[in-house]
Amino acid sequence: MPALKHPLLRHRRIGYGLAALVIITSVLLALDGILPPPLDRARQTSTLVLDAQGRMLRAFTTPPGVWRLSARSDEVDPLYLRMLLAYEDQRFELHPGVDPLAVVRALGQWCSQGRIVSGASTLTMQAARLLEPHPRTMSGKFGEMLRALQLEQRYRKAEILDFYLTLAPYGGNLEGVRAAALAWFGKEPTRLTPSEAALLVVLPQAPSRLRPDRFPERARAARDKVLLRMAQLAILSEQQVIEARQELLPTHLRSLPFLAPHLAERLRTTQPATVIHRTFIERGLQHTLETLARQQQSTLELNSSLAILVVANRDRRVLAYVGASDFHDSRRAGQVDLVRAVRSPGSTLKPLVYGLGFDDLLIHPETLIEDVPTRFGDYSPTNFRNTYAGQLTVREALQQSLNIPAVAILEQVGPARVAARLREVGLPLHWSKAHPQPGLPLVLGGVGMTLEELVTLYVGFANGGLIAPLWFSPTDPAGSEQRLLTETACWYLGEILRSAPVPQNVVGPASVARPRVIAHKTGTSYGFRDAWALGYDADYTVGVWVGRPDGSPSPGYYGRNTAAPLLFRVFGLLPEPAGQPVAPPPDAVLRVQREQLPERLRYFRTRPARETVNAPPLTLTFPVAGSTVELPERDGVWAELPLSAKGGVKPLHWLVNGRPLAAAPWRREAFWQPDGAGSARITVLDQVGQAASAEVWISRGE
């Protein structure tokens, strides 16, 4: 009977064992599903901003303040990987996460010598500990082994190695081999010397004790130990080891790349969930311009700064973005992004006003215009130097940036219309409390704009009048083009601005490396608070702002002597246009002498102030400029709109949208009956040539 019982017991034990194995396996599988490997630390990497070629411009620390740069095994030097595996885990490709041979060896040494002689940690176990830090206890080590087995079941060997390469500590707040290579050697880990690779292999073993900037002898001994081990394993030759041991260790931590910091901060703020921000920044150009900006500080007023923006015309890619002269200079408000600061644009809007005048057939480049003291209602502008040129051509008036002709043209184009057109193409003007509505001071800087907005406008001039947002990143939404000016008007502007006189202090090889055809315009705001220079050629548009970030004046510093030299130096750093430097004129361009122009384009009349000295200022009291007027409408017939003026010298004459209105000339009131809803420009003229205008919107009311 006992003999019969024995096989049954054996089978029963086997059955119990298999059942236990099934239960254990089921429990482990259930735990694997319930407690997956924690990957939060591997995913919480530093936000990176990259240039057009994918190179780092700037990195941001993780919330705990750690430089943790994602790294992959195919992005590091193969020699470093060979040395790492040979030194840390020679059977990495063979074991399932835990190396049984290493465990047996470590236990044997511990039993025979009563202390730990060598560890049994595999790279997978180290990756598990880096993903889920825990105390170095026996229970912690056991949990680490389970996590290692779990990682091996879920991920490929290359992915596990990536966890280690991203999270391994290298001293201070450095984590990951990429951050370590940049901070210790000032380069990416794609090409490392044997000495550098050996140091990066050993540093994670004791990152605080082996820091070469603090404990150079310890670091050298640890590095040399790795090198000698590599020679024993025939990974390095004896000569390579000798040369590597003679190589000096780094003595300090380098700063990680720090270029285009304002753009980087802008992208991170607008897209906080994005880890990798790609840009179109040309790294070499950006570095050169930031260096140039810091050098230029010495020529500026105390606490002054500057901003530079460079854009490729064809697709509006932003190639360089300098938001301040020195990001780290708090005296100059270096961390304020002056590319986006609202400032007075000075005279930089004059080309737009002239362009609208070209499109309205009010003027031609050869039209004669007066630059004499003139009063426009109660507004009496003066020129920059309080001198007047008399009669000259529109071309000369824009090239010399004279104020009286620009205001005279704006008076007929309409400031409300200028503001509305800019708003329609996505460039709304910023109004101050002193000038809350569009008025004639607009053309002389009586509004607010940013460097980014002005550069967008000038890129539009370069692209034949089409306006679209600038393109900072490939992830930016594609903005649709909207027409602001005709190609003909832009061609006139380009021809005029290209032949504008270049300031004397920018002529010469030190400022312009190669001669090129540049259309440029300078501007200076009231009180010398802002100095501007905008320019474009066939391929690029450049904008420069110089001033004090707090808006205080810088007497004697204006666009022509401060911003223009920098503008031309920037163009000297850009490649020459690949195609024709100047586009051929459109068919509608009139390239004729003044005598051959149509009669109405030969002369643009401005009335000198001496004719109005004794006349009370003429003002339009109703309707108010920029307002919306609701009028009743029945069966297609609109109610009349009352018009009212004050001051001036009778008789008065009224115009609506440029057409005379039948009205009693000896009264200061008139009535106009619209024929539909829409914009209307109302003008009143008096006997001595004063004029007042308002642009309003007519809508249907009750």
pLDDT of 565 reads 94
Run of H or E residues at 411: helix 403-413
Q: What is the domain partition of the chain in residue ranges?
A: 1-35, 63-246, 612-701
Choose among 266, 355, 300, 379: nearest CA to 618.
379
pLDDT of 510 reads 37
pLDDT class of 92 with cuts at 50, 70, 90: very high
Mean pLDDT: which of 65-79, 582-596, 679-693 is highest? Answer: 65-79
pLDDT, tens digit, 9 for 90 and up, residues 157-190: 999 999 999 999 999 999 999 999 999 999 999 9
pLDDT class of 19 with cuts at 50, 70, 90: low
Pairing of strands 540-547, 305-312: antiparallel
Pairing of strands 56-59, 48-50: antiparallel
Q: What is the CATH number of domain 612-701?
A: 2.60.40.10
Alpha-carbon span 689 to 652, nearest angstrom: 10
Interval 461-489 mean pLDDT: 94
Residues in contact with 205: Cβ distance below 8 Å, sequence separation at least 6, in sequence order: 222
Alpha-carbon span 220 to 228, nearest angstrom: 12
Run of H or E residues at 399: helix 394-399
DSSP string, 478-523: PPPPEESS-HHHHHHHHHHHHTSPPPGGG-STTT-SS----EEEEE
pLDDT of 53 reads 96
The helix-helix angle for 216-232 and 194-202 (nearest 10°) equals 110
Residue 473 is a catalytic residue: no
Amino acid at 437: Q
pLDDT at residue 110 is higher than 60: no
CB atoms within 10 A of CB 325: 24
Least confident among 206-220, 279-293, 665-679? 665-679
Q: Which one of the listed residues 46, 70, 73, 88 is annotated catalytic?
A: 88
User: What is the residue whose two structure tokens read 């003044």?
Assistant: 594
pLDDT of 125 reads 93
CB-based contact 633:639 (threshold 8 Å)? yes
Choose among 496, 535, 485, 524: nearest CA to 392.
496
Ramachandran assignment for 371, one of left (phi > 0), alpha (psi -120 to 50 degrees), beta (any other): beta
Work out the end-to-end distance of the chain between its first and last CA atoms, rounded to an integer number of angstroms.
Answer: 114
pLDDT at residue 665 is higher than 80: no
DSSP string, 592-634: --GGGS-HHHHEE----GGGSTTSPPPEEEESPTT-EEEEEEE
Run of H or E residues at 454: helix 451-462
Burial code of 288-312, b = ≥16 C-beta within 10 A, e = fewer?
A: ebbebbbebbeebbeebbbbbbbbb
Alpha-carbon span 650 to 615, nearest angstrom: 10
pLDDT, tens digit, 9 for 90 and up, residues 53-63: 999 999 999 99
Evaluate whether the domain defined by 63-246 bears CATH number 1.10.3810.10. yes
pTM for the whole thing?
Answer: 0.79
pLDDT at residue 327 is higher than 90: yes
Task: Give me the count of residues in the chain.
Answer: 702
Interval 346-373 mean pLDDT: 94
pLDDT, tens digit, 9 for 90 and up, residues 617-659: 888 999 988 888 888 888 888 888 899 999 887 778 787 875 6
Higher-confidence position of 133 and 426: 426
Q: Which one of the listed residues 70, 73, 344, 347 is annotated catalytic?
A: 347
pLDDT, tens digit, 9 for 90 and up, residues 522-556: 999 988 899 999 999 999 999 999 999 999 988 88
DSSP string, 412-429: HH-HHHHHHHHHHTT---
**Three-state DSSP state, 88:** helix
Alpha-carbon span 223 to 250, nearest angstrom: 12
User: What is the residue whose two structure tokens read 């009750």?
Assistant: 702
Residue 132 is a catalytic residue: no
Helices (H), 35-156: 40-43, 78-88, 100-113, 123-131, 138-154
pLDDT class of 385 with cuts at 50, 70, 90: confident
CB atoms within 10 A of CB 604: 21
Alpha-carbon span 170 to 157, nearest angstrom: 22
Higher-confidence position of 264 and 145: 264
Strands (E), 345-485: 368-371, 390-393, 466-467, 482-483
User: CA 230, 231, 234, 239 torsion: positive or negative?
Assistant: positive
Interval 219-228 mean pLDDT: 97
> Cis link prior to 38 (omega < 30° from 0)?
no
Run of H or E residues at 534: strand 530-536
Per the prediction, the chain carries an average pLDDT of: 88
CB atoms within 10 A of CB 231: 17
> Cis link prior to 204 (omega < 30° from 0)?
no
pLDDT, tens digit, 9 for 90 and up, residues 112-127: 655 444 556 899 999 9
CB-based contact 652:688 (threshold 8 Å)? no
Tokens of 608: 């000198």
Run of H or E residues at 353: helix 350-359
| pLDDT over 90 percentage in the chain | 61
Choose among 682, 686, 684, 683: nearest CA to 697.
682
